[in-house]
Amino acid sequence: MFYLSKIVWLLAQPLSLSFFLSCLAAVAVFCGFRRSGGLMAAAAALLLFVTLYTTTGNLLLQSLENRVARPPNDPADISCMIVLGGAIENEVMSGRGGIELNAAADRYTQALRLALAHPAAQILISGGDGSFSGAYEGEAGAAARFFAAYGVKPERLIAENTSRNTFENTLNTRDILARDGLANCLLITSAFHMPRSMALFDKAGLTVTPYPVDYRTSGTVTVGFDFTQPSLNAQNMSTAVREWLGLFGYYAAGRIDWPF
C-alpha cells in the first residue's frame, strides 16, 4: 500500500496530470485524432492555468487548515507531546550533514518552544524514512538531535523511527503510548495535515489534543485569480490535492471513519 500510494501520487498531482495530458494530446494529433488531441491539450492548459494562476489550491488548503482550530492559549500543563515527522530534508542531510528543515519546520520549532516552557513533558517524535528507496536516516533520529542541540534532555525524547506515512505514525505511536503509559498528549503537526491525523488517531482509539502549526494560508482566501505567485500557488495546490486524496484514500481503505 505504501509504494502504491507513492506511485498514485506521482501520477495524480496537478503538474504531472498536465504533463501527461499534453503528451497524450501530442500523440493523438500525431496519430490523426486532431479533435481528441485538441480537447486533451485544452484540458491540460486549463488545469495548468487553474493550478498556477487562481486561488483554487489556496482555498483547498485553507479548507483543511480551518477544520481544526489551535487552542487560543497554550495548555497550562503538558505531560506529553507527539510531533509527527515531515519537516526534515533527509536527502539533503545525507549529502551535506547537519539538520535541514523544510517548510514544515514549525512542527519542530513550536514543539521546541513548548518543550522549553514545560521541562517535564515527554516528546515523542514519530517519523522514519518515507522515501521510495528507504536509504536515508529516519527523521526521528535527526529530530532528536535537533531538540538535544537546543538543550532538551535526551531522556525526554522518544524516537519512533520506522513509520513511513501518517497511518504508520498512528499505529507505532499507539504502541509506544501503551508501552510507556502516556496519555492525553498534545498532537503537533501542520494545520493542513491535522484533519487526517486526528481522524486516524480517533480511529485508533487515542485521545489527543490537537495543536496545529505551519499554516500556509491567511484564512481569508477567496475565489479569484492570482498572477503574483504561480510557483507558490502550484505548491499549495499540490499539497492540498495530496492531503484531500489522502483523506479519501484512507476512508476508502477503512483507516478513518469519515473524510469530513
List, in order, residues 6 or more apart from 252 with CB less than 8 Å away: none
Length of the chain: 260
pLDDT, residue 14, reads 94
Q: How confident is the model at residue 133 (pLDDT cuts 50, 70, 90)?
A: low
Q: Where are the domains of the chain?
A: 2-65+225-252, 80-213
**Residue 164 in this model has a pLDDT that exceeds 80:** yes
pLDDT, residue 144, reads 85
**Residue 34 in this model has a pLDDT that exceeds 70:** yes
pLDDT tens by residue, 196-205: 999 999 999 9
The superfamily CATH assigns to domain 80-213 is HUPs (3.40.50.620)
pLDDT, residue 142, reads 87
- The overall pTM is greater than 0.85: yes
For residue 92, give Cα distances in angstroms to 96, 98, 102, 137. 6, 9, 10, 11
Average pLDDT, the chain: 92
pLDDT, residue 2, reads 64
How many other β-carbons are positioned within 10 Å of the β-carbon of residue 154? 10
**Residue 9 in this model has a pLDDT that exceeds 80:** no
3-state SS of 145-186?
Answer: HHHHHCCCCHHHEEEECCCCCHHHHHHHHHHHHHHHCCCCEE
